[in-house]
């Protein structure tokens, strides 16, 4: 259902790789809610060609940018402002990449060169995006920026590996830049901490299926889907949330504040009885 919550708003969506991507679903929902969009992803992701399907569906240009390349980001913002004929109202940062996970390196035997790249792509990239927008004065007053994160920034999920540290840094950049951009131009910057979701990045985590089922059982509302996340992003980009900034917003069906559920206790008891 469209309430045209984003009518007249203009946004850049980073990170739509394929139709499973949270960014893909968010782009569809923003379009349905009346927004005009620019889509972007790393040149290597664009070569897959999938994003062109989305571009057609949401009537948006695709502008390639490696998020750790400042020239690419400057070009992206300049081209986007030219396309929109003015400033930008919202940005979705939906980017994650762990080189140590990709190369099968355990947290305790981390390669620090890979780790630098992981932190740059997955966390400092938010600073790079905001800095580019700041230097070009690209964001409109009361603009909204959302980055996606995971609760491994606060609690240990052993196989989330170095991405836990990357997400902690991402959430810190959100607060620090959120302060400065808030004072300068009332721009709000928040992270949404999403339930495990079956996407390309998500499935890279070891034991992901067990993880999804456990989270489902541990959440009073069940896991939030990618579509649910897209809807939440829309509210954060809308004028209804103008005074929310520098927050880490849990969007996880209650998982983050649940100690245990009856469903998990029952499962444990069944396991014990099976051993009897
Ligand atoms: N899937 C989950 O379980 C889950 C849960 C919580 C948070 N998140 C976060 O959601 C975000 C989106 O991930 P997703 O699950 O939709 O997976 P996804 O694989 O569809 O998206 C990740 C995106 O990051 C992009 N990317 C990687 N390196 C880049 C670079 N150098 N420059 C530009 N873009 C680059 C990829 O091309 C891809 O589009 C990530 O930040 C992820 O950590 C995912």
Atom of ligand 1 nearest to the CA of 15: 39
Tokens 């489902």 belong to residue: 216
Contact 91, 191 (CB under 8 A): no
* C-alpha span between 24 and 21 (Å, rounded): 5
pLDDT for residue 47 is more than 80: yes
Q: Is 98 in the pocket of ligand 1 (CB under 6 A)?
A: no
Indicate the pTM of the whole model.
0.97
pLDDT tier, 275 (very low <50, low <70, confident <90, very high otherwise): confident
Question: Please, what is the average pLDDT of the chain?
Answer: 96
252: tokens are 């996880």
pLDDT tier, 273 (very low <50, low <70, confident <90, very high otherwise): confident
pLDDT tier, 202 (very low <50, low <70, confident <90, very high otherwise): confident
Contact 210, 152 (CB under 8 A): no
Q: Is 232 in the pocket of ligand 1 (CB under 6 A)?
A: no
How confident is the model at residue 46, as a pLDDT? 94
> In which element (H, E) is residue 192 found?
strand 188-194
Q: Is 194 in the pocket of ligand 1 (CB under 6 A)?
A: yes
How confident is the model at residue 210, as a pLDDT? 87
How confident is the model at residue 208, as a pLDDT? 85
Name which residue sits closest to atom 24 of ligand 1, judged by CA.
Answer: 95
Half-sphere exposure of 209 (CA within 13 A, CB side): 0
Q: How far is the CA of 210 from the centre of ligand 1 (A)?
A: 20
Fold designation for 10-275:
Rossmann fold (3.40.50)
How confident is the model at residue 2, as a pLDDT? 83
Contact 16, 43 (CB under 8 A): no
Per-residue pLDDT reduced to its tens digit, 66-120: 999 999 999 999 999 999 999 999 999 999 999 999 999 999 999 999 999 999 9
Q: Tell me, what DSSP letter sits at residue 260?
A: -
Q: How far is the CA of 200 from the centre of ligand 1 (A)?
A: 8
118-138 residues labelled b (16+ CB within 10 A) or e (exposed): bbbbbbbbbbbbbebbbebeb
Q: How far is the CA of 267 from the centre of ligand 1 (A)?
A: 32
Residue 164 sits at φ, ψ, to 5 deg, of -60, -45
């Amino acid at each position: 259902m469209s309430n045209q919550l984003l009518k007249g708003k203009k946004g850049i969506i980073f990170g739509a790789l394929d139709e499973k991507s949270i960014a893909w679903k968010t782009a569809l929902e923003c379009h349905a809610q009346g927004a005009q969009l620019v889509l972007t992803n790393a040149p290597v992701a664009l070569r897959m060609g999938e994003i062109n399907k989305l571009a057609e569906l949401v009537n948006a240009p695709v502008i390639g940018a490696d998020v750790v390349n400042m020239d690419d980001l400057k070009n992206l913002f300049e081209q986007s402002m030219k396309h929109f004929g003015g400033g930008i109202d919202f940005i979705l940062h939906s980017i994650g990449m762990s080189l140590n996970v990709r190369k099968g390196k355990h947290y305790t035997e981390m390669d620090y060169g890979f780790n630098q790249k992981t932190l740059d792509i997955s966390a400092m990239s938010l600073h790079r995006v905001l800095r580019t927008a700041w230097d070009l004065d690209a964001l409109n007053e009361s603009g909204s920026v959302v980055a996606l994160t995971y609760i491994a920034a606060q609690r240990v999920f052993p196989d989330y590996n170095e991405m836990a540290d990357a997400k902690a840094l991402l959430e810190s950049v959100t607060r620090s830049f959120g302060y400065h951009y808030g004072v300068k131009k009332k721009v709000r910057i928040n992270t949404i901490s999403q339930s495990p979701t079956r996407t390309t990045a998500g499935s890279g985590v070891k034991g992901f299926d067990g993880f999804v089922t456990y989270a489902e059982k541990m959440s009073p509302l069940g896991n939030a889907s990618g579509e649910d996340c897209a809807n939440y992003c829309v509210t954060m980009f809308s004028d209804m949330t103008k005074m929310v900034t520098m927050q880490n917003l849990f969007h996880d069906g209650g998982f983050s504040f649940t100690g245990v559920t009856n469903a998990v206790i029952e499962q444990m008891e069944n396991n014990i009885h099976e051993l009897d």
